[in-house]
Structure 1
Amino acid sequence: MEKFNKISAIVAAQQFISDFFPNCDGALLAGSVVRGEATETSDLDIVVFDIDITSSYRESLIYCGWPIEVFVHNLSSYRHFFELDIERARPSLPRMVSEGLVLRDEGIVDSIKKEATNLLEMGPKEWSEETINVKRYFITDALDDFKCCSNRSEGIFIANTLAELLSEFVLRTNRRWIGASKWVYRALREYNEDFAKQFVESFELFYRTDDKTQILQLADHILEPYGGKLFDGFSLGK
């Protein structure tokens, strides 16, 4: 599962549970090591379910040479975090639970995993027309700044904002989960590999050569099915 000079992720995770949560009702190992994507700096994401825990918490520590992120819940508190993740359309905990490798199970893990998987398969809530128009407006505003910007340094940061706004717009209007950092690209790739490649190439061209053409064309293509750019007539809170 990993090729680094440490004990295996599974062995480390199992020992961690035995040492720190020996009486827990369930535990899962999730993250990059489970997906076969571990790197030298990967950590172990461990989700623990313990009926005796009164309040959920998260903790980071080093154990057996592995950085570990542990997410501790009782048998109901995890649902609040499921709901928060679904609301923001970034299903971090449902994904960890759904994909997680079982480390311990006292008969509760299967039902929680099914709950998480069902949420992931449902996708995020559909954006309302009002939300789409608000997003169109802010994309339009960023595009106008980007198109007329002559300051290279400022342009880089405007492009960063556009990448975030446009990726969110594409994914949410297609009822797909969004992400942060590396998960933005992963979400785009899961949605459509060809589109993800085009998206990256458009921004890479600008960062390398200052050529804005492909980003502007990409934005027009993304907005066109929803009425294009929006400024004239837009109002908020009127």
Structure 2
Amino acid sequence: MFINRLEPVEAATQFISQYFANCQGAVLAGSVVRGEATKTSDLDIVVFIKDVPSPYRESLLAGGWPIEIFVHNLSSYRNYFDMDRKRAKPSLPRMVAEGLVLKDEGIMVSIQEEAKLLLADGPERWSAENIMIKRYFITDALEDFIGSTNSAEEIFIANTLAELVSEFILRTNGKWIGTSKWVIRSLKNYDEQFTEQFVEAFDFYYKTRNKEKVIDLVHFVLKPFGGPLFEGFSIGK
């Protein structure tokens, strides 16, 4: 895609020098820092500017790279940390914690420590009521999946089950969740053996349209919490 691109750290450093010379801190994060970059990877850069009125995100091209910038002042990032903890998707804390420091005027050590502590603490725990609600909706999707005779509809029901079950196993174990590629990464961070079982079940279904392994997986995940739930479920009564 980009033939004459700079090395990622060089490109990121030049970018900060050119566009954010007055910032108080900046880190390069994402796949290039983790050693997982592909030919379509971009540079994720978090920038801290004390007098920026409100946080913003912007996408642009520089140094032969697509660059995503996440700009915060010295307090707004904490609000995003808190929001990420509540939704259990630690996008900003992860970027900050793993980030390679590009510039630091004495703030990055403490901010990165905040991010690392938040990641180690994990997301907010689900309440018993929330677990019950999630069991019900997984059960509802499972019954749709079992009863469906429309192969096109089944694919999307299976997709829903994969999302709900991955979220359930991670949240009930106090782990972070994710979207897209971060679903499987989050599962691996939790339990690699379970992840293999999870992938095998859905892969087998998509290849053969045999539902058995997905059904067994769902029952396995729900069993410690009482199994599928329908009769007796009530909300808002």
TM-score normalized with structure 2 length: 0.98
In 1, the alpha carbon distance for the partners of 2:162 and 2:181 equals: 13
User: Corresponding residue for 1:219?
Assistant: 218
What's the CA shift string for 1:58-93, capped at 9, x where partnerless? Answer: 000011110000000011111111111111000000
Residue matched to 1:155: 154
Q: Residues 102-117 of structure 1: matches in 2 within 5 Å?
A: 102-117=101-116
Aligned to 2:136: 137
Match of 1:37 in 2: 36
**What displacement does 1:5 show?**
5.2
Letter in 2 for 1:63: A
CA distance in 1, matches of 2:122, 2:79: 17
Structure 1 letter corresponding to 2:228? K
Which runs of 5 or more structure 1 residues have no equivalent in the other structure?
A: none
Counterpart Cα distance in 2 of 1:233 and 1:32:
46
Aligned position for 1:46: 45
Structure 2 partner of 1:188 = 187
Aligned to 2:78: 79
Q: State the SS of the aligned residue for 1:71.
A: strand
Q: Deviations over 1:74-128 (max 9, x none)?
A: 1111111111111100000000000000000000000000000000000011111
The whole-number CA distance in structure 1 between the counterparts of 2:124 and 2:60 is 35
1:118 is matched with: 117
CA distance in 1, matches of 2:82, 2:66: 27
Equivalent residue pairs, number: 235
C-alpha distance in structure 2 between counterparts of 1:193 and 1:237, whole Å: 38
2:229 aligns to what?
230
What is aligned with 1:204? 203
Aligned to 2:96: 97
Q: Percent identity?
A: 63
Amino acid at match of 2:113: K
Give per-residue Cα distances to partners, 1:170-206, cap 9 Å, x unaligned. 0000000000000000000110001001100100000
* Alignment root-mean-square deviation, CA: 0.7
Gaps of 5+ in 2: none
Task: Give the whole-Å Cα distance in 1 for the aligned partners of 2:228 and 2:51.
Answer: 53
- Which deviations, in whole Å up to 9, do the C-alpha atoms of 1:4-33 show, x marking residues without a partner? 752100000000000100010000000000
Normalising by structure 1, report the TM-score: 0.98
Q: Give runs of ≥4 in structure 1 deviating > 3 Å.
A: none
Partners of 2:213 and 2:134 lie apart in 1 by 20
Aligned AA (1:25): Q
